[in-house]
Amino acid sequence: MSAIAETPAISIVEVGPRDGLQILKSILPTAHKKRWIAAAASAGVREIEVCSFVPAAVVPGMADADEIVRYARTIAGLQVIALAPNVKGAAAAFAAGAHKVTMPISVSVQHNLANIRKTHAQSIDELRRVIDLRDQQPKASRPAVEIGLSTSFGCSIAGAVPLEDVLRLAEKCLATGADHVTPADTIGIANPAQVKRVYAALYGAFGKAKIGGSHFHDTRGQGMANALAALEAGVTSFDASLAGLGGCPFAPGASGNICTEDLAWMLEEMGLSTGIDLAKLLACRDILKDGMPNEKLSGHLAEVGLARTQSGGRVAAAR
Ligand code: ZN
């Protein structure tokens, strides 16, 4: 191993158009979603979870999922991700051209039953059907299937979630054919020490290549500390949401995912390249303000701006 630390390429995955929007009362118009996705890509975001293929009766804001994926696929170089809770959603996501489908399965059985009305055995059966369908796609353009291991760090219903349960479900998902699994802090209850334990265990059991990335919510204000702990554990891919969009059904007023622009600033200031132009990224917030004037936007960087940086303005400089 080289003694000289290499600068890893960090990927920030914008999940706001899915995780951020799905819980809001406001519906962001389709045209605004397209502008946001295009603007984020133009700011250097290379992966975006653009929508969720769920019934419009359940989540009215995702009724345009097919149109959004097809639009996002026209943006060169952009990795287009869609969430699908079942084989019906996955089929629609594959047909629209998603590069990757994320399927949530909660480590907590109670949460899985409440969220997608399935036992673990039923979820694994559903995953098997999704994998069969994936394997029928043309090899050259075959999408990836990633499992979001919801409630990996704690559950709003069951309480503490044992690490052995995370490992057991991860093992089942990978054995069934999932390309990756990602532990998700669905309710924003993780702490940095736990984050390091969970990643060390997952990397040790399955190898780094099988663990997708990270997914933190900032419900208790620990999101950035948890992201830093994940970084130190070796994680190089981070889900985040512009303006910390979203929320938590169990904590009214709480912010949603960790804030994309604050995370990008931290990583860039640490000397890690995200490929993101922060000024352009901050400007994306105007699209949200315009499309959803009643929604609260979070984020510290937006409050203070880019005028002062430890790196002498490197991150704000034109690229
Ligand atoms: Zn989430």
Q: Would you say residue 316 has pLDDT above 60?
A: no
Cα–ligand 1 centroid distance for 256 (angstroms): 8
Dihedral over alpha carbons 170, 202, 175, 115 (to 10 degrees): 10
12 DSSP β-pair partners? 238
**Domain harbouring 50, CATH code:** 3.20.20.70
Q: Is the pLDDT confidence value at 11 over 50?
A: yes
Is 10 in contact with 267 (CB distance < 8 Å)? Answer: yes
Give the separation between CA 162 and CA 186, rounded to whole angstroms: 15
- Catalytic annotation, pick one of 155, 248, 259, 284: 248
Report the alpha-carbon distance of residue 273 to residue 219 in Å, rounded.
27
pLDDT of amino acid 244: 96
Q: What is the pTM of this model?
A: 0.94
pLDDT in the model for residue 246: 86
CA of 187 to the centre of ligand 1 (A): 8
The tens digit of pLDDT for each residue in 149-207 reads: 999 999 999 999 999 999 999 999 999 999 999 999 999 999 999 999 999 999 999 99
pLDDT tens digit sequence for 91-102: 999 999 999 999
Q: In angstroms, rounded to a whole number, what is the distance separating the alpha carbons of residues 285 and 244?
A: 11
- Check if 259 is active-site: no
Cα 56 → chain centroid: 21
pLDDT in tens, 108-156: 999 999 989 999 999 999 999 999 999 999 999 999 999 999 999 999 9
What is the dihedral sign for C-alpha 250, 251, 252, 256? negative
Q: How many angstroms separate the CA atoms of 90 and 86, rounded? A: 6
2 domain residue, yes or no:
no
For residue 101, what are its two tokens? 């489908």
Residue 5 counted as domain residue? no
164 part of a folded domain: yes
- What is the total count of domains within the chain? 1
Do 285 and 302 meet the contact criterion of CB atoms below 8 Å apart?
Answer: yes
Percent of the chain with pLDDT over 70: 92
Q: Provide the domain limits for residue 160.
A: 11-315
3-state SS record for 10-60: CEEEECHHHHHCCCCCCCCCHHHHHHHHHHHHHCCCCEEEEEECCCCCCCH
Ligand 1 centroid to residue 201 C-alpha, Å: 21
Q: What is the pLDDT at residue 3? A: 42
- 174 domain-assigned: yes
The reply to whether 280 falls in a domain is: yes
79: confidence class by pLDDT, cuts 50, 70, 90: very high
The C-alpha atoms of residue 22 and residue 36 are separated, in whole angstroms, by 15
Q: Tell me how far the alpha carbon of residue 108 lies from the centroid of ligand 1, in angstroms.
A: 15
In-domain check, residue 131: yes
Pull the structure tokens for residue 294.
């009643």
Distance 1 CA to ligand 1 centre (A): 35
- The answer to whether residue 219 sits within a structural domain is yes
Distance 313 CA to ligand 1 centre (A): 32
Ligand 1 centroid distance, CA of 269 (Å): 26
| Any domain includes 60 | yes
What's the chain's average pLDDT? 93
pLDDT digits (tens, 9 = 90+) for 42-76: 999 999 999 999 999 989 999 999 999 999 999 99
> What backbone torsions phi and psi does residue 82 show, to the nearest 5 degrees?
-135, 145
The predicted structure's pLDDT at residue 310: 66
In the beta sheet, which residues pair with residue 182? 148
Indicate the pLDDT class of residue 317, thresholds 50, 70 and 90: very low
